[in-house]
Structures are given as C-alpha cells and as structure tokens.
Amino acid sequence: MLANINGTQIAYSDNGAGTALVFLHAFPLNRTMWAPQETHLSRRFRVVTVDLRGHGESDAPLWHSSLEQYAGDVNGLLDHLAIQQAVLIGLSMGGYVSFAFYRKYARRVQALVLADTRAAADSAEARTGRFNLVQTAYRKGAGAVAEIMLPKLLGATSMAERPGIVRQVRHMIETCEVSGIVVDSMAMAERPDSMSLLSLITCPTLVIVGEEDGTTPPSEARVMAQGIPGARLSIIPGAGHLSNLEQSDRFNQAVTNFVTELL
C-alpha cells in the first residue's frame, strides 16, 4: 500500500492484528527483507513493514535527507495507520532510524528491538568508505554496489550454503535506486552518535546480532545491551548481518518471546 507522508509516497505492508510491530529495513534494501517475519509473526501480531524513502516502492527523491527525516516519515505512517504505540524493530540502518525515532517520539515506542546495528556514529574511515561507495553507485550503478555489499551483509555460512538468500539480497540491492543509495549514505555519515542515548532508553529492549556479523559485530551489540537499562541480548548462530533472513526461525523466536512477555 502507498500513503502520502510528508509529501512523499511511502510504501508499506500491514498484516495481522494485535500489538503493532513496525519493521525498519537495512541499507540498501527494502521491506521485502522482512518476508519471513511478515509470514510468521503476523499470525500473532500486527506486522507493519515500511519502505523508507528512496527504497522499494517508495518515492526516491534526490535531495538532502537525514535519519531524522526517515524517523519523521515513520511517525507520519503511524499517524496514517492510527497506531498510537508500536514495538520498533530496526536492523542496521533501521536501527539508526530507531534511535532517531526514539530521540523524538519516545512516547510512541512500546519496546525496541535493535538488530545488527550500532549506537556509535561513523568513524572518519567509515565516512570515507561511504563516499567511495556513493562514487561507485553514481558511476557504475547499483549492480556494482551489490558486489561490494553482499559479503558485508551476509555471513560466511550464508554466502557458502544459502544461494537463495544470496540471490534475494542481490536482487534487492540491484533494484535500489541510485538516489536511495546516495541519500542514505549521506544521512548515515551525518548521523549523530547515540552512545549517550543508551542509558536514557526506558522501554523494554532486545538487542539481536548474528554471530557471524562482521559489519556490526557482537562486540557492538554487547555495548548496546550493557548500556541500555535492562536490555537483553540474543546472539544468533549461523547468521551474519542480516540475521532475520539468514536464521529467520531463531530471529522470529527471539522476537516472539520478547513481545509475548510485554503483553
């Protein structure tokens, strides 16, 4: 479905009923990365997946943006769907958007699931990497970005043994608008550090990480889980950065256990 949010067409799916779980995808992917969660978790909960601006079926305006803007879009979508409070589940860039959302709209966050993400801002080296990736996207297109990103997104086990997932992730990246890749990269490079936010988070929080995640490794997840009062940590074996796709059953179980305890 499409909704006009903040002057931009934002695509989303809305399935199931009950406690609302709102899923925010990674870079440079789209809401289809949450297919295993949509299928499984919508039997018990209301599952909303969003294409952030620049991704999937949402508009991809080529203009300066920020993670605060993405968070504002999510807030507008919650208004549109008449959802007062939701469990926010963000993976990697989706986690950065969750921090931005929490900073501004904490009252709407029933609980947080921070998956394969980090609280720290970019290092100078990471910013240089984003600049280089944007130049590659601009000159060679999203296919070249897929070659670079795939081994960063998927763990060694998935790269070797799960060709279907490799194909699916490659397709998501190859079909991402270059404007989406550019705008996200600049927004992530400019994002503020969220380390000082951690101790201020008062909602129930689950931190999830794939054991083979080399992009936001388990050490980063431990920092978040230790910094957020009462947060829990779930480390998923056999998964890399996209733990929800690579080990969907374990991911779904961790989320189900966590959300069920909230009720």
- Shortest Å, Cβ 132 to ligand MLT: 12
155 vs 241: CA distance, rounded Å: 7
- Which two three-digit tokens encode residue 66? 């920020």
Determine which residue in the list 42, 179, 194, 215 makes contact with ligand MLT, applying CB under 6 A: 215
Interface mask (CB under 6 A) for ligand MLT, residues 98-137, using x and -? ----------------------------------------
Q: Tell me the closest approach of the beta carbon of residue 150 to ligand MLT, in angstroms.
A: 11
27 lies in the binding site for ligand MLT (CB under 6 A): yes
For residue 245, state whether it binds ligand MLT (rule: CB under 6 A): no
Question: Is 236 near ligand MLT (CB under 6 A)?
Answer: no
75 vs 71: CA distance, rounded Å? 6
Instruction: Kindly tell me which residue out of 93, 178, 182, 225 binds ligand MLT, with binding defined by CB under 6 A.
Output: 93
Q: Which residue is nearest to ligand MLT (CB)?
A: 92
Task: Return the residue of 109, 165, 188, 209 that touches ligand MLT, per CB under 6 A.
Answer: 188
Q: Does 26 bind ligand MLT (CB under 6 A)?
A: yes
Amino acid at 63: W
* Contacting residues toward ligand MLT, per CB under 6 A: 26-27, 92-93, 188, 215, 241
